[in-house]
Structure formats: C-alpha cells, structure tokens
Structure 1
C-alpha cells in the first residue's frame, strides 16, 4: 500500500466518508468486512463472533437493534481477533468489529475498510490488495450514488 496510487484511492475513500450519511457508512463498513470475513471463517469455522458483528451492523441499519447491542457484537468480534493467531483472520475480525462499531461512531467505517485491507495485505499478494482497495472505492461510490 505504499505506492501513490493506493494512497490516492485511500484519500478518496476518506473524503467520501465525510459526505455520506451514517447508515450508508455502516452499510459500506459491513460490506467491506463481509468481503474479507472468509479469512476468519476458514481459520476458525466455529467462531461466529465476527459474522454476528456484521449482522448487527445490518440489523442496526434496518432499525432492528440499538447501539448497545451492536457495540456488544463489536466488542465480541474484537475479542475473536485477539484470540486469533492468523494475521489475515485477525484483521478480518477487526474489520467486522469496526463495522458493528460504526453504528455508534461513523468514523469506524474507515477503520473497517482499513482492517479489511490489512487482512488482504497479510496474504502478501499486492494484486489482491489493489483489487480490494478498488472494490472498496467502487462500492462506496455505488452506495453514495444510490442514496442521492
């Protein structure tokens, strides 16, 4: 993620986040986390805490739960991350935790995206990493355009 193209894409995402409503940010964060969730589920198939955090984010957007329940799921996903010894799985779980935490604070959305990128970066595949970054940017732009 050191070349200027990646830095420019990252900056674009940060600027977009500032101008998007809270629930759209939550949706994007959940999509980013879900996009890399497989890193965690492959390593820890019986641990559902990160997946439950994504579901909590989506339930919050649908007005089915309140912030405290989403935060509890975020904390649980972060606990799953702490118990992981697999770097990609750890970062994926953190992405899920930040997705749920976005219900409380909008700025967690960019952290969900960044941890998703770190999950991919841990694979040491720079092509996959650039594809992930582009996917995130395309997804946030699509969401932004669909809410205007």
Structure 2
C-alpha cells in the first residue's frame, strides 16, 4: 500500500511561528535542536548507518557552544539534506530534512520554520496522519524554553 503524501507547506502552526518571531537565535536554535531530535529516530529506524542527520544536530550543538563557525554548521546542514535525498521512506526523509533545517538555524533563524514543518510531517507519517501530537509538543516545548529563559 502506498503512503499518503502530505504537503509540508500546509503544516505551519501560526502559534509556533508567532512565538519564534520573539525568540533570539540562540533560543531558536535550542528549540530547533530539540524538535529535530524529537523525530530523528524516524530516520535512524530506516537507515541506522547514515549518521548525517545526527551529525548535523551535533554540529548545531557545537555552534551553540561557539566551537564551530556558522559556515561549518551549514556544511553539516547540507549533508543532512543530502541524506534525505538518498532515502525513500517519506517519514525518514522528513526527519532528515528537519535535522538539516535545525542545523541551518546557525545560518538564519527562520530555518526553524522548516524544522517545525518537517518534524510535523515526519510525525504524521509515523502516526497515521495526525499532526496534533507533534504540533502540540513543539508549541508546549517552545513555551517551556521561553519560560526558562525569562
């Protein structure tokens, strides 16, 4: 049976987008890292030997700690997107793309919107099309991080 294909561009949650507008790049990166980690297993279940999405998230951590440059982080982000191109499972593809966009927050914070959409998409493929659990988790986690920062 063929999987239903979902359009990533329809998966925006305005609550999350509006909150992210009020976050600095560091808080956005923290949230993006957590959101991508939340779905990384969906890639690794299908392709445990390809470490590029996980390496992209590690690179984001290094960038957040000031240990690598934005340009270096960007290379890892692109590598994660290349991992997505080599995958056939739509949920795994979306998870790898979420990781790539998370790492790309080191370049431009609006890549967090890509994390949001691709993580929701990956989760939808994993749970039969329901986006609510992932969307609610992302929103609540962002609120949590914002409260910790205050």
Cα distance, 1:124 vs structure 2:
5.1
Answering whether residue 133 of structure 2 is matched by residue 131 of structure 1, we say: yes
1:10-49 pair list within 5 angstroms: 10-49=13-52
**Higher helix content, 1 or 2:** 1
1:42-121 pair list within 5 angstroms: 42-121=45-124
88-97 vs 61-70, greater mean Cα deviation: 61-70
* Residues 63-106 of structure 1 deviation map (CA, whole Å, 9 limit, x = unaligned): 11110110000000000000000000000000000000000001
Gaps of 5+ in 2: 1-5
Aligned-CA RMSD value? 1.8
Name the residue aligned to 2:3.
none
Aligned length: 142
* Whole-angstrom CA distance in 2 between matches of 1:113 and 1:30: 11
Find the partner of 1:142 among 132, 140, 144.
Answer: 144
User: Aligned to 2:135, what secondary structure does the other structure show?
Assistant: helix
Gaps of 5+ in 1: 2-6
Cα distance, 1:60 vs structure 2:
1.0
With the length of structure 2 as denominator, give the TM-score of the two structures.
0.89
Contact 2:97 2:115 survives alignment (8 Å): yes
* Residues 91-142 of structure 1 deviation map (CA, whole Å, 9 limit, x = unaligned): 0000000000000001001111110001112235244x31111110011111
Contact 2:42 2:126 survives alignment (8 Å): no
